Amino acid sequence: MPFPEPLPISDGALLSPKPLEQLSLPSELDGGLGTNRALGAQSQIAAQSDVDAIRAWLARFVETKATFDTYRKESERLLLWSTTELRKPLSSLTHEDLLIYRRFLADPQPAQRWVMAGRKVARADPSWRPFAGPLSPSSERQAFVILNTLFAWLVNAGYLAGNPLSLSRQRARKAKPRVTRFLEDDLWQAVKTSIDTMPRETAREQEHYARVRWLISLLYLMGLRISEVVSNPMGGFFRRRDRDGQDRWWLAITGKGDKERLLPATTELMAELTRYRRHYGLAALPYGGETTPLLLPIGGTPRTLTRGAVHLIIKQVFDNAIGHLQSTGEAHERASDRLRQASAHWLRHTAGSHMMDGQVDLRYVRDNLGHESISTTSQYYRPKVVMCSLGSRSR
Query: Is residue 176 situated within a structural domain?
Result: no
Q: Are residues 114 and 224 in the same domain?
A: no
Q: Are residues 129 and 221 in the same domain?
A: no
Residues 6+ apart with CB under 8 A from 139: 105
Chain centroid to Cα 46, Å, comes to: 30
Query: Is residue 22 situated within a structural domain?
Result: yes
Residue that finishes a domain, picked among 167, 200, 230: 167
Evaluate whether 224 touches 231 at the Cβ level (below 8 Å): no
Query: Is residue 105 situated within a structural domain?
Result: yes
Give how many domains the chain has, as a whole number.
Answer: 2
Q: Are residues 56 and 150 in the same domain?
A: yes
- Is pLDDT at 127 greater than 70 in this prediction? yes
- Per-residue confidence at 351, pLDDT binned at 50, 70, 90? low
Residue 338 to residues 117, 224, 346, 348, Cα–Cα distance (Å): 32, 21, 10, 16
Q: Are residues 207 and 287 in the same domain?
A: yes
Query: Is residue 361 situated within a structural domain?
Result: yes
Burial of residue 240 (CB within 10 Å: 0-12, 13-18, 19+) is: exposed
pTM over 0.85: no
What pLDDT score was predicted for residue 283?
A: 94
Residue that finishes a domain, picked among 138, 167, 196: 167
Q: Are residues 141 and 198 in the same domain?
A: no
Q: Are residues 354 and 216 in the same domain?
A: yes
Domain that holds residue 76: 11-167
Query: Is residue 212 situated within a structural domain?
Result: yes
Query: Is residue 2 situated within a structural domain?
Result: no
Q: Are residues 208 and 148 in the same domain?
A: no
Q: Are residues 242 and 340 in the same domain?
A: yes
Which CATH number belongs to the domain containing residue 348 in this structure?
A: 1.10.443.10
Residue 23 to residues 97, 105, 128, 147, 149, Cα–Cα distance (Å): 22, 21, 13, 19, 22
- Is pLDDT at 364 greater than 70 in this prediction? no
What pLDDT score was predicted for residue 39?
A: 76
Query: Is residue 73 situated within a structural domain?
Result: yes
What pLDDT score was predicted for residue 211?
A: 93
Q: Are residues 273 and 189 in the same domain?
A: yes
Q: Are residues 194 and 134 in the same domain?
A: no
Q: Are residues 279 and 348 in the same domain?
A: yes
Query: Is residue 180 situated within a structural domain?
Result: no
Of 13-17, 78-82, 92-96, least confident by mean pLDDT is 13-17
For the chain, the average pLDDT equals 79
Q: Are residues 70 and 214 in the same domain?
A: no
One DSSP character per residue, 367-391 reads HHHT-S-HHHHHTT--S------TT
pLDDT in tens, 277-297: 998 889 999 998 999 999 998
What pLDDT score was predicted for residue 386?
A: 39
